[in-house]
Structure 1
Amino acid sequence: MPTSSASHLAVVGGGIGGLAAALAAARAGHRVTLVERAARFGEIGAGLQLAPNASLALEELGVLNAVRRHAVAPPRLVMMDALTGDQVTSLDLRGDAYTERFRHPYLVTHRTDLHAALLAACEDHPAISLRTGHTVTRAEQDSSGVELHFAESHEVLAADAVIAADGLHSRLRQALVGDGDPVCSRYVAFRGALPAERMTGRMSQHAASEAVMVWAGPRMHLVQYPVRRGELYNQVAVFESDRYTPDSDDWGTESELEERFATACRAVRDALPLISRERRWPLFDRLPVSNWVHGRIVLLGDAAHPMLQYLAQGACQALEDAVALGRALARDTGLDEAFAAYSAVREERAARIQTNARRFGEICHLEGMGATLRNLLLSARSPEDFDDIAWVWTPATAPATTPATTPANAAVPAP
């Protein structure tokens, strides 16, 4: 619904978070100009998981149906032991316990399909202007607004406020927060999606089940699930490198990938040759910060809270950010009040998920007796027991019981 004092907002970054923020702000009645440094809009990567908190956000943004046309709603989340091949635990995503508690679906989709749905919605909205080939070099602000300067031209974009959604290596965050480079976890991922018909043997059985499979092992794991209506099968192999050095790119190599997974069970080893080797993805995060708002500039998505992927919440939290910001902007209380309300709702929750993502990574990658105890604890839980994960899958704006940490017996997928 349009507000009585509509503002002009500039969004920096055309990824999932930036597009969602632009759409949320426009739907709240504001005029939006989104600038993206690439020559054309697009996403790289493979699959991602959209827990019910993300589905709820997509519904509020008006794009859930478009996303569901290409997504898969898996019946289960399954954790397997990557060494023995035994099932450790699972969660039933179609039973009464799930549907009564969450009401919105758990989806898996290709990252490009989610991005395309958000982009199409932004292109269709009359209050949104999209500009590519615009690399922000600096932002100058005063009490009345912000001016953005670009590398490609002498053009200056004036706006009432700026939403910085420029990702992990955000230039605006660096200028405003100044907390240095992202923190490398020493883990690296090889990921990609391949035609489902290429899966054979036991792998084809897993693909046909449509379940999200997480194979947890010592300092490594493998995740598998179908995307794009089941036509593609997404695989992600993650492992810790023994050769990491901060001033070198010669670590996390294909040879290390093979070495780390050499002791895995047959099903995992059979999957490795089909995992894309075109690009490796070092995994980074940052420590939480409590200052997302800097005058007329506000941080969102990975620019605000980059996190490791072990709770499958990176994109989900960016979508939650967008919805919370849109709700605050729709109240017509002024930009300062809207930004304050947004940060009050989002900062603590995002920080908690950032912190717990690290902890769950440690749980997932236990070895020896630690892994044995983990498996014993998890094997005792019911597939309908969502108590440990409900706080993650329920946005802060909805009633939730939110523990300070993820318990050791939490069963959560690592994407």
Structure 2
Amino acid sequence: MAELYSPILYPRSTLLGMSKCDLDNGRVFVVGGGIGGLATALGLTKSGCSVTVVEQAGEFGEIGAGLQIGPNATRILDSWGLLDKVANIGVLPNNIVMRDAISGEEVARLPLGEAFRERYGAPYVVIHRTDLHAILLQACREAGVDLVTDVRIDRVDVGDAGTSAVASDGRTFDADVTVGADGLHSVLRRTIVGDEPVPSGYVAYRGTVPIENVPEHDRKLDDVVVWVGPGWHLVQYRLRAGKVLNQVAVFESPGFLRGDAEFGGVDEFRAVFAGCHPQVRSALEAVGTDKHWPLYDRRPADFWGEDRLVLTGDAAHPMLQYLAQGCCQALEDAKTLEILVDDADTAVQWRTVLEQFTESRIPRTAEVQTKARMFGDICHARGVNRVLRNELLSHVNGTDLYDYADWIYGGPVLDLLKSRSLTGV
């Protein structure tokens, strides 16, 4: 994978050989065994902590379909020595292409080739969610993370000397610090923040299909294609070395707007997409309709915990999918914690580390959450706004879009990585 990243930004040998703290207070308890929880555990283990991860399900695993992983996150996977595995089982698309789902015209194109990789120091990869989870799970096992299933944590008590997580079956788990990575419907967030998920009114139908079972024009798809329509969109890209096509169809539910308790069913799905371009209608025939997902996020919070308890990932900053950053931001959380602990003195002062963590991460993730909603509005533009969007973007050269992408594919974690390589740490 040497051709896919820039050693000028951070030599791989530097990151993989970082010095480890001699921790006196390095017992970390992670609630939630999804991608964010495992990434947090892996990063902290590499910084010398002893980490336990608990998962409420009977086994570790993920559900869902494809993930888009931008270079702000693939840089992090590379620092853990996992990028080769991710790229080999995933796909490196050539472009991100926006197309008008009514007219079929191309609206914008962001090239993801050599110039993109040189600018951001890493590739753009798409991968099946279960594949990334499996790679992280294996890495955690190899790193010595203690992985425990069938544990539902009801609360975490925080004291001067550490934390005590109490499970629903009465078991307790003591540690020096607890990280809540228990997702959108986080139990720990209820006690720390106290808010509720916010329904967007949009619903997703998604799934994968063997490439030989899709229309001919989609079989050699080498791009991430986003078909944008008035109040709806369809995303397409290939996964698993190109052997399957991932498709996600999202639309604003008329039933939700009416206030119906049940909304987003198959009849709505078919009616909303009835007027789209023939190529989109053809693609939708391969989208499974047996299950749908109402889409939620939460408003950005300015408090994720303190002392020895903190939230990360979707528990801290769940976001709508329009910037493809949910997973990426969870990986940024994990790498930031790793660096802060690794840079600490011989005994980690967890209060200081978590203060630094939230000071760094809250503004960054709040910006991504907010702009994800804004980008959703752009994708779903109606009427004259749709016409103006298409006209404005038609005059932007693809590589000029890099200037608009710098904020998301760079960011504070890249600054930390650069500083470490430049100082020789």
TM-score normalised to structure 2 length: 0.90
Per-residue deviation, 1:62 = 2.6
Task: Give CA deviations for 1:270-329 in whole Å, capped at 9, x if unaligned.
Answer: 011110123211110111111123221011000010100000100000000000011111
* Counterpart check, 1:397 vs 2:413: yes
Q: Distance in 2 between matches of 1:202 and 1:318?
A: 34
* Counterpart check, 1:275 vs 2:296: no
What does 1:160-179 correspond to in 2, within 5 Å?
Answer: 160-179=176-195
Q: Distance in 2 between matches of 1:246 and 1:372?
A: 27
Structure 1 ranges of 4+ moved more than 4 A: 245-249
Which consecutive unaligned segments of at least 5 residues does structure 2 have?
1-18, 417-425
User: What is the root-mean-square deviation of aligned Cα atoms in Å?
Assistant: 1.5
* Counterpart check, 1:136 vs 2:148: no
Per-residue deviation, 1:245 = 7.0
2:170: which partner in 1? 154
Q: Distance in 2 between matches of 1:271 and 1:325?
A: 41
Per-residue deviation, 1:58 = 0.9
Q: Distance in 2 between matches of 1:31 and 1:163?
A: 13
Give the partner amino acid of 1:52.
P
What does 1:255-294 correspond to in 2, within 5 Å?
Answer: 255-294=267-306
CA contact (8 A) 2:72 2:414 kept: no
CA contact (8 A) 1:20 1:61 kept: no
Which consecutive unaligned segments of at least 5 residues does structure 1 have?
401-415
Q: Distance in 1 between matches of 2:166 and 2:415?
A: 42
Per-residue deviation, 1:228 = 0.7
Task: Give CA deviations for 1:204-251 in whole Å, capped at 9, x if unaligned.
Answer: 3xxx13100000000000000001110110000000001117986520
Specify which structure has the higher proportion of helix.
Answer: 2
* Counterpart check, 1:87 vs 2:106: yes
2:372: which partner in 1? 357
* Counterpart check, 1:313 vs 2:332: no
Give the partner amino acid of 1:110.
H
2:16: which partner in 1? none
Shift of the 115–247 alpha-carbon distance from structure 1 to 2, 3 Å rule, reads farther
* Counterpart check, 1:242 vs 2:261: no
> Which region of structure 1 is more displaced relative to structure 2, 163-172 or 2-11?
2-11
Give the partner amino acid of 1:88.
V
Task: Give CA deviations for 1:88-129 in whole Å, capped at 9, x if unaligned.
Answer: 110111142x13311200000100010000000001112x10
CA contact (8 A) 2:192 2:304 kept: no
CA contact (8 A) 1:77 1:213 kept: yes
Task: Give CA deviations for 1:147-176 in whole Å, capped at 9, x if unaligned.
Answer: 11111x322110111010000000001111
CA contact (8 A) 2:215 2:283 kept: no
1:192: which partner in 2? 207
Q: Distance in 1 between matches of 2:305 and 2:105?
A: 47
2:197: which partner in 1? 182
> Which region of structure 1 is more displaced relative to structure 2, 242-251 or 299-308?
242-251
CA contact (8 A) 1:284 1:308 kept: yes
Per-residue deviation, 1:63 = 1.6
> Which region of structure 1 is more displaced relative to structure 2, 388-397 or 77-86?
388-397
1:407: which partner in 2? none
Q: Distance in 1 between matches of 2:258 and 2:312?
A: 27
> Which region of structure 1 is more displaced relative to structure 2, 340-349 or 313-322?
340-349
1:73: which partner in 2? 92
1:376: which partner in 2? 391
TM-score normalised to structure 1 length: 0.92
Q: Distance in 1 between matches of 2:221 and 2:288?
A: 22
CA contact (8 A) 2:63 2:130 kept: yes
CA contact (8 A) 1:5 1:332 kept: no
Q: Distance in 1 between matches of 2:327 and 2:66?
A: 11
1:5: which partner in 2? 23
Residue in structure 1 matching 2:123, options 98, 105, 120: 105
* Counterpart check, 1:202 vs 2:217: yes
Give the partner amino acid of 1:171.
V
2:3: which partner in 1? none
SS of the residue aligned with 1:397?
A: helix
Per-residue deviation, 1:137 = 1.0
Residue in structure 1 matching 2:351, options 331, 336, 341: 336
SS of the residue aligned with 1:307?
A: coil
Q: Distance in 1 between matches of 2:258 and 2:154?
A: 26
Q: Distance in 1 between matches of 2:272 and 2:330?
A: 32
* Counterpart check, 1:15 vs 2:30: no
